[in-house]
DNA sequence: CTGTTAGCGCTTTCAC
DNA sequence: GTGAAAGCGCTAACAG
């Protein structure tokens, strides 16, 4: 790449000025009163030659590369959270920065190589992202410079951005309450491990708390909560079936994520039940599938894109601490209605 | 980042040798017989100080950055093709390279900025990726150095990697033929625009040709092919319904992608028909949803990960021309069975 | 076998 | 107002 790129010296020569002058002008330095004519000449020459600065050379002096590292455990390539990258990319562009990405795949060796590779390239900071919202411990090498955690927290109080799952939980429950559901609301997707181990998930516990809090606010409580070993469609299917077998059926369920809800839909269909006439469903994430389901699934969206943006904003603003909670909002579709 | 990094000079000082020697040793240069002891001293010093080379500085001399640009129209953040990045990332890591990513979002201004930004950082080459398999025209700026097209072709014969959709089409049809389907196979997802405009899609036409060729091989032809304005679930739904209304029903359908198949499943369920007992379904892409459907959807997978790998391999091998076709293989699930 | 010297392209004192 | 010169950290000729 960059075969015989035009250099600053070329521009200076063409403009009949020194490199210093050209540099000053091109960087729009204040306070240094260069003649209007010099400005003209410099711009003209740069334009004619198609000059573009060599970032590597520049960064050697300035120690800034306008490059941010985005390292994730696995998120980068997952359908689920491409949104985080997209948001980061957008924000980076707005700040004239660029993203270097790497994935550790949860492998310590890969992680070390990845981080070294980024640091060797003198990135201005790193965004360390996790696929599942959770607590993690940041590799020591990263403490050398600015870091912000994305979709994760750490014990050492690094700045981080997280979805506001607790309020999200309230939002989900409220969507049901406001339609008149109250004492026959069930949850699908309780999970001991996710709820108790913050290194596995921060979302499960927060969502559940939010749901319960919203119910408590109106003096109601959960009819039942079905456990699921994982949050996959098949588990949602099984959980819904078991819910339907009981004497008192829920009028509405909140699924801990959209994949569970997908499974729940299948169980409902098998039972000849109609959503939302017989049972309302609300869920979390706003996976693309939520829009494809019939009827469309109302779900509290994970604000991936915004989260990604925030992460780079924090990094570039030099925020060095604190948690940023990004609100989750309800995507209303047709899966929620008043109880029969 | 990189606050007070150890430099080559520091290592040289510590080892009591010159920078040259240290550089030579650390880069494992052949042909230069430095004493074993010098090697020892250098390695020891580098190790003790935790020396890491400054890539920016090095690249200023060598004109190599070990960095590849991955620019895409929109693919980077799409659930659909994260696999391409993942593959590229893996291959890059194996070659000790790193990926700089950018998204143009189909906007010419963004594209220009993105490409300039990458070029300014002296990337060694660029991978230009498209979300939909199609023909496109490469921005002139890219012709300055190595480029490979990913999931796209261009008129100017740049090296490119594409999925082998035509053979994929044969594979899909063969999956049905081998179960005994023959004269009552229908297609869902014909699309005039996609089939005729290579700038929109290369896949539609190729898949269809493959399907027809496989049928022709056994002297059969398509029962019917339903058109869809887009390849979305709702269109699959509608198409399937119209297929079912006709006097002679297909025993099997091949959907042009998994989302159409998803819609088709819904229509089948509404009609009280069972997959695969009443009708077999096969499709393309291997979207995550294919595994979640009940029964699991047999689909010809888009080899995104392999494609990503190939792209960086080609780039790094200095391949400057030619089309690389990556085979698509059938993911067998439960949606295909012998006709009733 | 090893060290000196000269840049790569840029920014930045500091003189003029 | 503008330019000369030094130097960021590294590699590559070229001596010794």
User: In angstroms, how far is D4 C1' from A12 CA?
Assistant: 14
| Sheet strand arrangement including B224-227 | B224-227, B185-190, B252-255, B280-285, B298-301, B330-331
Strand C atom within 7 Å of A242 CB: no
**E strands present in B224-322:** 224-227, 252-255, 280-285, 298-301
Q: Do A85 and B93 touch (CB under 8 A)?
A: no
* A34 three-class SS: coil
Q: How far apart are the first and last CA of chain A?
A: 67
Question: What value does the mean pLDDT take over residues B278-282?
Answer: 98
Distance from CA of B53 to the nearest CA of A (A): 6
- Chain A residues in contact with B65 by the CB 8 A cut-off are 56, 121
pLDDT score, position A80 = 65
Percent of chain A exceeding pLDDT 90 equals 75
With bands split at pLDDT 50, 70 and 90, how would you rate the model's confidence at B2?
Answer: very low
Specify the pLDDT at position A76: 54
Q: Which nucleotide across the nucleic acid strands is nearest to A5, CA versus C1'?
A: C9
The enclosing H or E element of A139 equals none
The answer to whether the CB atoms of A289 and B294 lie below 8 A apart is no
Query: What average pLDDT score do residues A201-205 get?
Result: 97
- Closest of A81, A66, A199 to residue A129, by C-alpha: A81
The residues that bridge with A326 in the sheet, in sequence order, are A163
Q: B113: closest CA among A92, A124, A307?
A: A92
Burial of B209 per CB tally in 10 Å (0-12, 13-18, 19+): middle
Q: Is the CB of A40 under 7 A from strand D?
A: no
Which chain C nucleotides are covered by protein, judged by CB under 7 A?
1-13
List pLDDT tens digits, range A56-78. Answer: 999 988 889 999 999 998 765 56
User: Domain B67-163+304-326 falls in which CATH fold?
Assistant: Rossmann fold (3.40.50)
Q: What is the CATH number of domain A3-53?
A: 1.10.260.40
Interchain proximity B79–A288, CB inside 8 Å: yes
pLDDT exceeds cutoff 50 at B194: yes
Q: What is the mean pLDDT of the segment spanning A5-12?
A: 88
Distances (CA, A) of B162 to B82, B132, B307: 16, 10, 7
Q: Do A76 and B82 touch (CB under 8 A)?
A: yes
CA angle A281, A283, A285 (to 5 degrees): 155
- In the CATH scheme, what is the homologous superfamily, with its name and number, of domain A165-302? Response regulator (3.40.50.2300)
**More confident call, A210 vs B39:** A210
Count Cβ–Cβ pairs < 8 Å, chain A vs chain B. Answer: 162
A245 CB and strand D closer than 7 A: no
A23-52 average pLDDT score: 84
Q: What is the pLDDT of residues B222-262, one digit of tens each?
A: 999 999 999 999 999 999 999 999 999 999 999 999 999 99
Please state the rounded mean pLDDT for residues B176-192.
Answer: 97
- Is B139's CB less than 7 Å from nucleic acid strand D? no
Nucleotide nearest to B7 (CA to C1'): D9
- What is the share, in percent, of chain B residues with pLDDT greater than 70? 96
Nearest CA in chain B to A4: B144
Stronger pLDDT, B175 or B20, i.e. the higher one: B175
CATH 3.40.50.2300 domain extents, chain B: 67-163+304-326, 165-302
- On chain B, the residues whose CB falls within 8 A of the CB of A125 are 1
* Residue B31 confidence (pLDDT) above 70: no
Question: Confidence class of residue B75 from pLDDT cuts 50, 70 and 90?
Answer: low
What Cα–Cα distance (Å) separates residue B232 from each residue in A82, A288, A331, B199? Answer: 20, 12, 20, 19
**Model confidence at A2, in pLDDT bands (50, 70, 90)?**
very low
* Contacting residues of B for A76, CB less than 8 Å apart: 82, 85-86, 89
User: Does residue A304 have a pLDDT over 50?
Assistant: yes
- A21 is near strand D: CB distance < 7 Å: yes
A97 Cβ contact list (under 8 Å, min separation 6)? A66, A67, A68, A124, A312, A316
DSSP states along A200-262: T-SHHHHHHHHHHHHHHHTT---SEEEE-SSSSHHHHHHHHHHHHHSSSPPSEEEESSHHHHH
């Amino acid at each position: 790449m960059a075969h015989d790129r035009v250099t600053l010296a070329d521009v200076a020569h063409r403009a009949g000025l020194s490199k210093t002058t050209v540099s000053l002008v091109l960087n729009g330095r204040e306070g240094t009163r260069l003649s209007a004519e010099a400005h003209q000449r410099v711009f003209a020459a740069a334009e004619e030659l198609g000059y573009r600065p060599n970032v590597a050379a520049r960064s050697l002096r300035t120690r800034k590369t306008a490059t941010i590292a985005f390292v994730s455990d696995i998120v980068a390539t997952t359908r689920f959270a491409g949104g985080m990258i997209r948001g980061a990319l957008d924000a980076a562009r707005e700040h004239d920065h660029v993203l270097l990405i790497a994935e550790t795949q949860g492998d310590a060796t890969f992680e070390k190589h990845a981080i070294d590779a980024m640091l060797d390239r003198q990135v201005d900071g790193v965004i360390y992202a996790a696929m599942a919202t959770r607590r993690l411990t940041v590799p020591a090498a990263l403490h050398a410079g600015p870091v912000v955690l994305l979709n994760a927290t750490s014990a050492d109080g690094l700045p981080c951005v997280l979805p506001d799952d607790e309020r999200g939980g309230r939002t989900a429950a409220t969507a049901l309450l406001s339609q008149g559901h109250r004492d026959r609301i069930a949850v699908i997707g309780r999970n001991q491990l996710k709820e108790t181990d913050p290194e596995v998930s921060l979302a499960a516990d927060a969502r559940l708390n939010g749901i319960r809090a919203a119910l408590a606010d109106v003096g109601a409580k959960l009819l039942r909560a079905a456990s699921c070993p994982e949050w996959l469609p098949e588990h949602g299917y099984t959980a819904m079936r078991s819910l339907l077998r009981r004497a008192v059926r829920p009028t509405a369920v909140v699924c801990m994520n959209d994949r569970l809800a997908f499974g729940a839909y299948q169980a409902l269909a098998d039972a000849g039940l109609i959503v939302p006439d017989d049972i309302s469903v609300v869920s979390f994430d706003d996976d693309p599938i939520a829009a494809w389901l019939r009827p469309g699934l109302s779900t509290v969206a994970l604000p991936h894109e915004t989260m990604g943006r925030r992460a780079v904003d924090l990094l570039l603003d030099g925020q060095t601490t604190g948690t940023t909670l990004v609100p989750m909002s309800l995507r209303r579709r047709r899966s929620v209605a008043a109880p029969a």
